[in-house]
């Protein structure tokens, strides 16, 4: 285990000068041992610039596959900078909260368990925190498809697969979303805002999300600065089951549910239940109209299906909230 010296320790001044920044690179995982192995393999090529050190922390969120075998193998390959913990409470937000509480670094970098990390990623993250007064640094992520990119998938919807690219210029104090696939936060800010909201985020097979957006909004609300650093690059491996139209429908439905929770947390006025219902009915009616007119063109019908899925998810979330308030 790598221990970053605290102010209470009696330490060598040369060590203090040598290590300016210590980063905890953390990965939360659940039943995806093969993908985790690829991610950890990419971290073997990670380059730490002078003055920057790091540890790698894997949080196993109750995996039932051979995740522990992968962890044991990479414990030997990555050496003393690698460690792991088991988080028994199911859910990505629980696992992420366990990660930052276990972290020894001033910076906690959250990576998904299905990424290929660029060798210079750590240097770019560290440089952004050292150059700017950043509370959060988000990087670029590109997609690695299991085969050819689907011709039916508009680029706009690739963000649902965690593609993020705001260009080659650093954006300081940006109000744009930053994705949890490649998301680094000063630990002091995680402590200040209380970490991730465990009512949000993936849990088991659920496609719910929004936990990093919510965290980012709370940090910004207290004056924290978010930075987009294009040099911090990861590739996101897209599982074959996500290159299916039905997956996008389910993902948009979950996004609609999340939109209600996030609006309530931000104290944003929620649309009326009647208005939400009418919107959902109109979206579904538009699909029926295309079917009646025999307009089965993929972009038209599928696009309407995605809009309807989001509307129905929003309606479900709105109904759930109304029932809670009535009970």
The domain locations on the chain are 13-241, 245-326
Q: What is the gyration radius of the CA atoms in the chain, in angstroms?
A: 21
Strand, coil or helix: 295: coil
Task: Enter the tokens of residue 240.
Answer: 């074959």
- In this predicted structure, what is the pLDDT of residue 5? 40
Q: Between the CA of residue 129 and those of 112, 168, 193, 232, 242, what are the distances in Å?
A: 21, 17, 19, 12, 33
Q: What is the architecture of the domain spanning 13-241?
A: Alpha-Beta Complex (3.90)
Q: Between the CA of residue 35 and those of 78, 138, 298, what are the distances in Å?
A: 17, 22, 31
- In this predicted structure, what is the pLDDT of residue 1? 39
Beta bridge partners of 172: 227
Beta bridge partners of 171: 228
- In this predicted structure, what is the pLDDT of residue 79? 94
- In this predicted structure, what is the pLDDT of residue 299? 58
- Which residue is associated with the tokens 């990861």? 234
pLDDT in tens, the chain (327 residues): 344 443 333 334 444 447 799 999 999 999 999 999 999 999 999 999 999 999 999 999 999 999 999 999 999 999 999 999 999 999 999 999 999 999 999 999 999 999 999 999 999 999 999 999 999 999 999 999 998 998 888 888 898 899 999 999 999 999 999 998 999 999 999 999 999 988 887 766 666 677 888 899 999 999 999 999 999 999 999 988 888 888 888 888 888 888 887 777 776 777 788 888 888 888 888 888 777 776 555 556 777 888 888 888 888 888 887 777 665
247-263 confidence digits (pLDDT tens): 888 888 888 888 887 77
Question: Length of the chain in residues, anyone?
Answer: 327
Distance from the Cα of residue 156 to its chain's centroid: 18
- In this predicted structure, what is the pLDDT of residue 273? 85
């Amino acid at each position: 285990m790598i221990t970053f010296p605290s102010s209470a320790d009696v330490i060598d001044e040369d060590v203090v000068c040598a290590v300016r920044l210590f980063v905890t690179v953390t990965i939360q995982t659940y039943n995806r041992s093969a993908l985790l192995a690829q991610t950890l393999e990419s971290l073997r090529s990670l380059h730490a610039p002078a003055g920057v050190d790091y540890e790698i922390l894997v949080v196993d969120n109750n995996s039932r596959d051979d995740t522990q075998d992968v962890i044991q193998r990479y414990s030997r390959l990555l050496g003393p900078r690698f460690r792991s913990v088991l988080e028994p409470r199911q859910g990505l937000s629980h696992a992420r909260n366990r990660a930052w509480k276990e972290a020894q670094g001033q910076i906690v970098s959250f990576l998904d368990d299905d990424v290929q990390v660029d060798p210079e990623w750590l240097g770019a993250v560290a440089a952004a925190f050292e150059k700017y007064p950043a509370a959060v640094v988000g990087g670029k992520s590109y997609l690695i498809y299991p085969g050819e990119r689907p011709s039916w998938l508009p680029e706009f919807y690739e963000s649902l697969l965690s593609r993020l690219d705001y260009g080659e210029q650093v954006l300081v104090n940006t109000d744009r979303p930053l994705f949890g696939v490649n998301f680094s936060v000063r630990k002091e800010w995680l402590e200040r805002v209380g970490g991730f909201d465990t009512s949000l985020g993936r849990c088991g097979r659920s496609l719910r999300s929004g936990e990093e957006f919510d965290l980012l909004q709370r940090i910004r609300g207290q004056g924290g600065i978010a930075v987009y650093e294009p040099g911090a690059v990861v590739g996101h491996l897209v599982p074959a089951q996500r290159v299916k139209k039905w997956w996008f429908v389910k993902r948009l439905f979950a996004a609609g549910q999340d939109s209600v929770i996030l609006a309530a947390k931000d104290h944003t006025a929620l649309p009326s239940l009647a208005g939400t219902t009418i919107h959902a009915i109109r979206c579904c009616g538009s699909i029926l109209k295309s079917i009646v007119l025999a307009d089965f063109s993929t972009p038209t019908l599928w696009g309407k299906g995605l809009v309807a899925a989001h509307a129905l998810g929003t309606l479900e979330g709105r109904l759930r909230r109304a029932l809670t308030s009535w009970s």
